[in-house]
Amino acid sequence: MMRIEINGRDAFWFNAFIVEWEHQYPQRALIKEASGFFIIENDWLEDLKRIAGACFSTVVVAPMDPSRRSLFRQFLPGES
């Protein structure tokens, strides 16, 4: 299992990514954490990246400690 972050160009494309993922892989449920990250099986990563590319989105492997990413975001302008 790994933690990922899904970044869409905007809310429309993020939702398009989710819909396309659920359409192509209904048996592969993404587990959303309260932090906004998702938990996936390791072998799904390439399929997620392929679908993300078609939906103007990116998939990034998130750190195992989400507080570390939160710390860096405090120092990056325009990031939330």
Which of helix, strand or coil describes residue 11? helix
Checking if the pLDDT of 70 tops 60, the result is no
Mean pLDDT of the chain: 87
Where along the chain do its domains lie?
A: 13-59
Q: In this predicted model, what pLDDT tens digit does every residue of 37-68 receive, in sequence order?
A: 999 999 999 999 999 999 999 999 988 765 65
Token pair of 28 as six digits:
């592969």
- Determine if the pTM surpasses 0.85: no
**Cα torsion through 63, 47, 50, 68, rounded to 10:** -10
Distances (CA, A) of 53 to 21, 30, 49, 66: 12, 17, 6, 24
Query: Helix 11-24 crosses helix 45-54 at what angle (to 10 degrees)?
Result: 130
